[in-house]
Amino acid sequence: MLIMIRFAAALLARIAALALVVSTLFALPAAAQAPAPVSGLLEDLALRQELDPLKTVIVARDGRILAERGYRGNRVTDPTNIKSASKSIISALVGIAIDKGLLAGPDQKIAPILKADLPASPDPRINDITIGHLLSMQAGLGRLSGPNYGRWVASRNWVRTALAQPFDDDPGGDMLYSTASTHLLSAILTKVSGKSTLALAREWLAPLDGFRIGAWDRDPQGIYLGGNQMAMSPRSLLAFGELYRNGGRTASGQQLLSAEWIVASWQHRTNSRFSGDEYGYGWFERQIAGEEVHFAWGYGGQMLYIIPSLDLTVVMTSAESGPSARNGYRDALHLVLGEIITTVKAGPETDG
């Protein structure tokens, strides 16, 4: 009997020791077992019917990715058409061209640069249009976006067609959102540099780790379409956003774009007549969840958000097949950003 008692006691002791080892190896603190806050939020987005077009989301803070997720088979490394979010990239290239002395500045008049493509008998107001007017969508020329976009890209010379539009306002007047304005900037960059806009982007932004432009449409003269039809991955768009969040510097500290240009780009210059958002040089601005947000916005819901007060950069990409403003989808994405901001502000992150 004594032998059996000793054997049982020894067995219980070994079981207890084994349990301790197992708990040490596999049991994690409660905070680590629970889903990380931002990761959990991104996982929940897949269940929301109003977000069916959503393809990817990336959330980064101070240069570190907190969470990223692809939906319905999409990946953050897949190229996607960022649509008009590319207007912010054109703005960056203009800023670099100014830094390099290829352009004099936002107040430089465009007519002398594009004189070969001016109408035979132009409205004299065309001589008043500046680089800054094109950047802020205040050129005054009739819009070639929306219902007019198709006939514009079907024309034989997109630059001449844009410059031949009748004036709907004086230069410097109300915002007239038009992809033709940023295409004129692409033509100007090509003229003053002697290189294609794609070559400039690849050269000037080459030190930016992770940045890459893939396919990009061109006009009949070979000029890359300023402000539309540009393929980038969400990760690449994040890298571009990080350049702005970081004051124009790369992660290694190399200054690619002047901090002064970023300030100028984010300065309120006009307002969108469609959304009411403030607009600068290729960037929208609004308050979301109590924070100032600067964002690039492309058709269908291609979004790049920068929240400087929180060192936060957020990318959202969506199916390009439908609008995002008229159907409320863009507003739904703004609400998601508000949830992300609230989650980040709530406490320390446990995301990997």
10 Å Cβ neighbour count for 210? 14
Residue 183 per-residue DSSP state? H
For helices 86-99 and 197-204, angle between their N-to-C axes, nearest 10 degrees: 70
Work out the average pLDDT over 181-207: 98
* pLDDT in the model for residue 348: 65
Cα gap 108→90, rounded to integer Å: 17
pLDDT, tens digit, 9 for 90 and up, residues 93-145:
999 999 999 999 999 999 999 999 999 999 999 999 999 999 999 999 999 99
DSSP calls for 33-78 = HSPPHHHHHHHHHTT-GGGTTEEEEEEEETTEEEEEEE-TT--TTS
Is pLDDT of 8 > 60?
no
Mention every residue, 6+ apart, whose C-beta is less than 8 A from residue 294. Answer: 244, 266, 280, 283, 284, 285, 305, 306, 307, 308
Q: pTM for this one?
A: 0.89
281 pLDDT tier (thresholds 50, 70, 90): very high
pLDDT, tens digit, 9 for 90 and up, residues 231-276:
999 999 999 999 999 999 999 999 999 999 999 999 999 999 989 9
- What angle (nearest 5°) sits at the alpha carbon of residue 261, between those of residues 174 and 86? 65
Sheet containing 291-298: give its strands across: 64-70, 54-61, 312-318, 302-307, 291-298, 284-288, 278-279, 270-271
Domains of the chain: 37-346 (3.40.710.10)
